[in-house]
Structure 1
Amino acid sequence: MEYPTKIGDWMQICILGSGAFGDVMLWTNKTTEESVAIKKCKFQTASALSDKQKERWHKEVDFMKSINHLNIIKFKSLPHDLETILLKYNPTRLPLLSMEYCTKGNLRRYMLNEPIRLCGLPESDVRAVLRDISSGLSYLHSNKITHRDIKPENIVLQHCDNRKTNIVYKIIDLGYAKELQDTVVSFVGTLHYLAPEIFRNKPYDHTVDYWSMGLLVFEIICGLLPFLPELNPFERYEKIRDKGPDDICIYMQYSGALANSSEIKKENFITSCLKQNIETWLKRVLQFDPSKRCFSSLDIFEYLHFILDKRIIKVFSVYKLEFYSYEINDGTLLGTLKDWISRDIKIPKKDLLVLFKNEPMFCHDDDAILHELVTEDTVFVFKKGALISDSISFTVPKLVQQVLQISVSFQLRHVRNLFRQALFFIYSEKLAVEMLHTGFELYVKYLGVIVERVGQEQKIAHLKLAALLRHIESITNNKICDVELNDNKEAIECLVHLKRVLSSLERSKNKYIEFLKESSILTRLWAEVLDLQEDLEDCFRVCLISEQYSKISSKNFLEMKNNETSKEMLNRIAKVISDTIKLKTKFIHKNEKLKNCGRDFGILSAFGEELINWIQDYVIHIDHLSSVFEQTYLRYRQLVEKENTKIENCCDLEEGNCLIEENKDIRFKFEDILSKSVLAHKNYIKDCLGPLG
């Protein structure tokens, strides 16, 4: 009896998967566009199945009907007409299992979708998988059910509008699931992901899911299983049995010797902070002894969520072209982050410039709360006065270095691992240049903010000074000295003080006029930076590391060409690597414009920042001077007119004298700025900009 592919408006689209006992088929309603995944037994007679297999099938259907969790595939009732006809073509008479259809396939297919995923998934995906699958497993365990077959093929991806990645991960295939109180030992699950106690045919409990989850976590982070995936399951079991309690990885070296490791492989896309925390978690769940797969205070999944709830901020050092990461909380200060960065990249804190991609503001107080400033997880840090270091080097994996030595013989069994390392190396170099480009654009934007801010502050200062001068002229009417004071000693003191204030103000006005003239240098420096920006944009366009990445990341790169030898294939990998190194060397180490860029940016930013600070101090001083002048003048008029009342809160002469000294300090400070930030670079300005007008 031929199985139907069309029933009313319903059509069988394809087979989604096939297991030992059943096939899962996708049916779609052409009118409503509703879809459903239907699992049916693949055998043609009931007698082909044992009673235990039939029981397992019924249990899976019952499990699915009783379970309701976001991260476990949902049972979906079939329309009566569709179910009735399908049951007629079901010779085993086992119930159909109808489920929601997850449109984005399974995790295995997702991991194989792009070659770069041989090195693992991005951190955002890793976090989502960990959170979702641990939540689903925790729910199963709380309902006395263990899955026993956690693997990428049994995790599907469903569209979700409420998530940044638009994906939610769900556990499927509860065919091997069992109630935890069932003590019957059975050899079930996929051999690659089996916990040792199942492999040994020993009694087991829910901790077998911890082991499988640990293997899954390692695989999605690194792109491969942790324990010798090239060996057959029985050989692998022997090596796992002998591993140390902290070993989370066993791999074969180039020489053929085996090595154990307590660390995740270097080729991954997660931050160092998350990596360290996950390694701690993996050391627990990958214990050979199941009784040791636990933490003292939290259960395994609670501890995993504790890790995932930590906020990690990524820092890209433009100067070193390196990533760093730090755990922060609601009270972490910007100054604390700078302390950490200074410690790690060996640059004094005062020489650091931290910019936020979402908001390249002029400056932030070190006491600012970090989480209030950062809306994205990556911040950029620069060394003032330099864009990138002259000592930038290449971190070429050892296996890749050996391939670059063409005379070295190489076994084909290492090709996949070699390809992973070469792919990751070239991707990392491409990413470094892309991040440098982003950092460069951010720095230019920051310089533009400085130039704009100088103009804004200058206008404020100009208006303040002009208003003060008009005010002084209006109240004195140039007749301060036209009064006979005779022996009015206090009035004479006020008059002398007023003259000193006016004299100080005149000097301040002259200094401000000088400032207006000298600050025009900033505008000319900004024009030079914009010209340099255009030149460097051309340099970024011709840095073709992305083309090398496109070559090695093509899906057919590892396929051997016609009549190609293994040596020729290795030479192809070596050529892409060496071409990448040549391109980066030319771009980073032989690019004079890039080297000079940091110096030019440093001059403009240092000069601009000091000008802004000087203008702000000057405006505050003008406000103080205005207040002291007005109150002193009013007191003077009272004394002349022989009034006995005192002005409330009138400033004494000593405070006025202090402000006069402050005026002198501000003038000297401006001269010091010119000396340090401009005159010290006189030759540079002369060469680049010509004589100052």
Structure 2
Amino acid sequence: MSREDRGGFGDWQIVKRLGSGGNGEVSLWQNRKTRQKLAIKSLKFPPDHDQQKDGRRWRDEIAFAREIKHENIVQSVNVPEEFKAYLMRQYPPEPLIMEYCEKGDLRKKLQMQEHLNGMPEFDIRNIVKCMRNAIVHMHSKGISHRDIKPENLVIKEVNGCEVYKLTDLGYAREITSTIEASHVGTFEYFAPEVITELSYSNTVDYWSMGVIVFEIICGVRPFLPGSPVTDFISKLKLKDPKTIAITKSHDNRFENHSTLFEQNQISPCFKRFLEVWLRIPLDVNPRNRAIRTDNGPVSGTPSPASLKIFNDLDYLLSATILTVFCMHNFRLFSYNISEGITREGFLTTLSTDTEIPKDDLVIILPPENVHIARFTSSNKPIELYIDDLHDKPMVYCTTDKDTLKDTSQNVGLSAVLLEALGDNNVKNRKHALEVAKHLIFYVQQQGRFATFFMHALLNYAVMVDDWIFKFQGKVDEMSTMFWQLKGAMQFYLLQLDQTKNILVEKNVSAKLEDNSEKLIERFKKINDLFIRTRNRFISVLRRSKTTISELNASFNDHLSTIEKICDISTPCELYNKFRVCSSIADTAKEMFKYFNDFQKNWFFLNSAQIKNIQTSVSEIHVEFEIIETVVDGLIKQQVETQQLLNRMAADFSKSLWEIATSTASATIDGPNIPDLDGILSSKQVNVAEELCELENSCASAMISNGENWSMVEASEEAKSILILNSDLWDRVERSLQK
């Protein structure tokens, strides 16, 4: 059987046709054994083609594809000679054999309904970085693409990540200082000089890049999309350097914009960066697009690395932008942070932005933050940044004083949407499309922020519960100290009571009794505070567990409800109907009905259950912080009271010591000297010796048990605790009485 057949060659077989363009078509081939896939592009001459010109362009494209090797440019692939010869017979004069990028192109991404108002920030960063790398590499090789557009940015999955690759080098040209003008490429991504000038430079690629960056952020091209080329050129000629978009309203008014549209999915900080950067690639003057970083004169073909457009873009892409969602006012904030930013400065800025007093701010950390468990005075804001967290905020914040600041369902409604809802009317098709687009963004943002809020609430509850759980060790420490102190008090007071008569007789009881009464009063306060604090801690711990259990039980249900209510399929269908329907008024009625139904069903901001849980978590947090303060203070008071008790016990011990030694001395020196043998054999007259022996034994035991004391220090400590030895003091008391 021949290795060749209509559908393939050997193990290689054609799978399907992927698409076709002005001068070629692309087919997908796959190896049945290795499963390798290839995209094979063949030349297709249009009916009115210039065979010589098209042939030269085709040869250039193949040559450029083989020459340029970069991860963000579609690569040509070498195949066995036999297979290559077969393909050349099938696709004369010669096919372009390329790697297959299986995830489509950027245009298909932009056409997804969730991207009608632009793409998420993580995707935008990825696309911009890939596009930047591809352009810089091509220009460094002296080649200008001249036809950069979403259709020519294809996507390949590499190690689970989407990599964007520039393709279709059919219009690429080697760069001299200028290129002879020819209307190649796609009109909507043309730089103005491509149409109006006799020649242009490689900066036309920078313009195309700027248009694409704007489009992936806002979901629409920046300059009069859908308008005729005459309007396009006439308005661009008058464009101010700070203008990055021009629109035409439903009542035919032209408006210049120096900022990105508010309907987008990027963080405010990233948005501000891009608004400044976009002025460079979208400058009508091509020389300003290629301005040097040092603002020096541009001559010849400058190195891409020396250009401001790429240096500023690199800074933007490397910026550590911290995203913060505020539960209190349902808003997203972002900050460019670095090692030099202090905690105090960050909290001051956050307090101003959120309108929450700095002392009332509660910083909530998600479980993805493995650096710190709590944002304390020893931490820096840079520790809040999480490099690989893209679909959720890196930090949440709220206030422990109240719940949501504004429960109105008009939060997030744009002026365009509010005006249309107020009039319950749309002016014309263009106005209807604009209103529908704003409605889609509103519903999308409500769902996105409600999801953030639920995650913030769960993280808040878990974080506080974790603090409480870890604090249990401190409460146990407080309890252990309390019972030790209480035991020492009881022993001290017992010994004081047992030796009261002796102390009174020796005139040393008054001071000891007075100090003891003060000590007892002090301990009563500690006892009362200890019982109340321990009980409150147990209560807080129990309530925290109950709250988390309740939140966990309803969490997924809440997320499902949010996803269901905020599904944008219906408003997207209305948007598409406005584009093609004959009766705009009927579709407008459907849209207003949809919005009214959405408001009725949008339970989130008025959910009693969610508010109750948030209030409960906030109250637990506040009470726990009070308990923390009290426990720390109580431990300090117990330490001070124990030290005071030790001093009093030492005084008591010293008094008894003096009484015991003076009694022994009197027995020897008095006029009636007892029998010496009897005294030596009697334990009563050896009290001082026994005390010394016990003191030394106790001190040695303390040192051997690992206490970090010298023998002298241990002996002094032993004196203060020997009062707890009831057997010893029974013998001392009997000795003194005799």
Structure 1 gaps of 5+ residues are: 653-693
Query: How far 1:170 sits from its partner (Å)?
Result: 0.9
Which of the residues 138, 162, 166 maps onto 1:167? 162
User: SS where residue 284 of structure 1 aligns?
Assistant: coil
Q: 8 Å contact 2:177–2:201 — kept in the other structure?
A: no
Amino acid at match of 2:90: Y
Show the counterpart of 2:687.
none
> What's the TM-score, normalizing by structure 2?
0.78
**Cα shift at 1:562:** 11
Please identify, of 276-285 and 376-385, the stretch whose mean Cα deviation from structure 2 is larger: 376-385
Q: Which structure ranks higher in relative contact order (CA pairs < 8 Å, sequence separation ≥ 6)?
A: 1
Partner of 2:15: 13
In structure 2, the CA distance between the partners of 1:518 and 1:81, relative to structure 1 (3 Å rule), is closer
Instruction: Using the TM superposition, give the Cα deviation of residue 474 of structure 1 relative to its aligned residue in structure 2, in angstroms.
Output: 6.8
Measure how far apart 1:50 and its partner are.
4.0
Residue pair 2:457, 2:614 contacting (<8 A) in 1 also: no
CA distance in 2, matches of 1:194, 1:3: 43
Cα distance change on mapping 1:493 and 1:301 into 2, 3 Å: farther
Match of 2:356 among 329, 344, 347: 347
Shift of 1:185: 0.8
Describe the shift of the 1:65–1:287 C-alpha distance in structure 2 as closer, same or farther (beyond 3 A).
same
CA contact (8 A) 2:339 2:380 kept: yes
Pairing partner for 2:247 from 251, 255, 261: 251
1:409-424 correspondence to structure 2 within 5 Å: 409-424=426-441
* Partner-residue secondary structure (3-state), 2:164: strand
CA contact (8 A) 1:27 1:36 kept: yes
Alpha-carbon shift at residue 362 of structure 1 (Å): 8.1
User: Structure 1 residues 78, 439: closer, same or farther in 2, change over 3 A?
Assistant: same
Q: What amino acid sits opposite 1:198 in the alignment?
A: V
Q: Counterpart amino acid of 1:314?
A: T
Aligned letter for 2:45? F
Equivalent-residue separation in structure 2 for 1:538 and 1:284 (angstroms)? 46
8 Å CA contact 2:444–2:568 kept in 1: the answer is: no
Instruction: Provide Cα deviations, 1:537-577, integer angstroms capped at 9, x if missing partner.
Output: 69947966733534425668624799872211122222222
Change in CA separation of 1:491 and 1:56 when aligned onto 2, cut-off 3 Å:
farther
Which residue does the alignment assign to 1:659?
Answer: none
Contact 2:364 2:397 in 1 (8 A): yes
CA contact (8 A) 1:144 1:179 kept: yes
> Secondary structure at 2:74's aligned position in 1?
coil
Cα distance in 1, alignment partners of residues 316 and 580 from structure 2: 49
State yes or no: 1:122 paired with 2:139.
no
Give 1:397 deviation, angstroms: 2.6
Write out per-residue CA displacement over residues 655-685 of structure 1, whole angstroms, 9 at most, x where no aligned residue: xxxxxxxxxxxxxxxxxxxxxxxxxxxxxxx
Give aligned pairs, total. Answer: 641
Aligned-partner SS, 2:126: helix
Report the equivalent of 2:663: none
Deviates more, 1:567-576 or 1:205-214: 567-576
Q: How does 1:369-448 map to 2 (within 5 A)?
A: 369-375=380-386, 376=389, 377-390=393-406, 392=408, 393-404=410-421, 408-448=425-465
In the alignment, which of 496, 500, 523 is matched to residue 505 of structure 1?
523
Deviation at 1:341, TM superposition (A): 1.7
Aligned counterpart for 2:45 among listed residues 43, 46, 55? 43
2-side partners of 1:548 and 1:284: how far apart? 37
Q: Which residue of 2 aligns with 1:662?
A: none
In structure 2, distance between residues paired with 1:394 and 1:434: 15
Considering only CA atoms, is the larger Rg found in Structure 1 or Structure 2? 2
The 8 Å contact of residues 403 and 570 in structure 1, kept in 2 or not, is answered as no
Which ranges in structure 2 are unaligned for 5 or more consecutive residues? 295-306, 659-691, 693-709, 718-738
Where do residues 121-200 of structure 1 align in structure 2 (5 Å cutoff)?
121-161=119-159, 166-181=161-176, 183-187=178-182, 188-200=184-196
Whether contact under 8 Å (2:322, 2:384) holds in the other structure is no
Measured in 2, the distance between the counterparts of 1:327 and 1:488 equals: 77
- Alignment-derived partner of residue 81 in structure 1: 82
Give how far 1:211 is off: 0.7
The residue type paired with residue 398 of structure 2 is: F
Aligned-residue offset at 1:109:
1.2
Contact 2:101 2:155 in 1 (8 A): yes
CA contact (8 A) 1:158 1:169 kept: yes
The alpha carbon displacement at 1:497 in A equals: 5.5
Following superposition of structure 1 onto structure 2, how do residues 163-562 of structure 1 map, counting pairs within 5 Å?
166-181=161-176, 183-187=178-182, 188-293=184-289, 294=291, 296-297=293-294, 299-358=308-367, 363-375=374-386, 376=389, 377-390=393-406, 392=408, 393-404=410-421, 408-449=425-466, 451-453=468-470, 455-470=472-487, 478-479=495-496, 482=499, 500-501=518-519, 504-517=522-535, 519=537, 521-522=539-540, 526=544, 529=547, 533=551, 540=558, 546-547=564-565, 549-552=567-570, 558-559=576-577
- Asked if 1 retains the 8 angstrom alpha-carbon contact of 2:25 and 2:41, the reply is yes
Is the 1:404–1:578 contact (alpha carbons within 8 Å) kept by the matching residues of 2? no
The reply to whether residue 572 of structure 1 matches residue 574 of structure 2 is no
Letter in 2 for 1:151: K
Letter of the 1:175 partner, please give it.
G
Contact 2:28 2:39 in 1 (8 A): yes
Query: How many angstroms does 1:501 deviate by?
Result: 4.5
2:618 equivalent in structure 1: 602
CA distance in 2, matches of 1:489, 1:203: 115
Aligned to 2:55: 54
Identity percentage over the alignment? 24
Question: Could you tell me how far apart the structure 1 residues matched to 2:87 and 2:35 are?
Answer: 19
* d(CA) in 2 for partners of 1:286, 1:518: 63
Give the C-alpha shift of residue 473 in structure 1. Answer: 6.0
Among 585, 589, 613, the alignment partner of 2:629 is 613
The residue number in structure 1 matching 2:108 is 109
Distance 2:268 2:714 in 1: 59
How far apart are 1:446 and its partner, in Å? 3.7
- The equivalent residue for 1:668 is none
Report the AA paired with residue 122 of structure 2. Answer: S
Residues 232/512 of structure 1: CA separation in 2 closer, same or farther (3 Å cut): same
Q: What CA distance in whole angstroms lies between the structure 2 residues aligned with 1:107 and 1:154?
A: 8
Report the Cα offset of residue 270 of structure 1: 0.5
* Shift in alpha-carbon separation, 1:479–1:228, aligned structure 2, 3 A: same
Give distance in 2, aligned partners of 1:303 and 1:89: 48
Partner residue in 2 for 1:670:
none
SS of residue matched to 1:285:
coil
Partners of 1:356 and 1:374 within 8 A in 2? no
C-alpha change, 1:528 and 1:23, in structure 2 (3 Å) is closer
Between the aligned partners of 1:388 and 1:338, the Cα distance in structure 2 is: 20
In 1, distance between residues paired with 2:186 and 2:198? 16
Report the CA distance between 1:650 and its aligned residue: 12
1:617: how far off? 2.6
Paired position in structure 1 for 2:35: 33
- SS in structure 2 at match of 1:315: strand
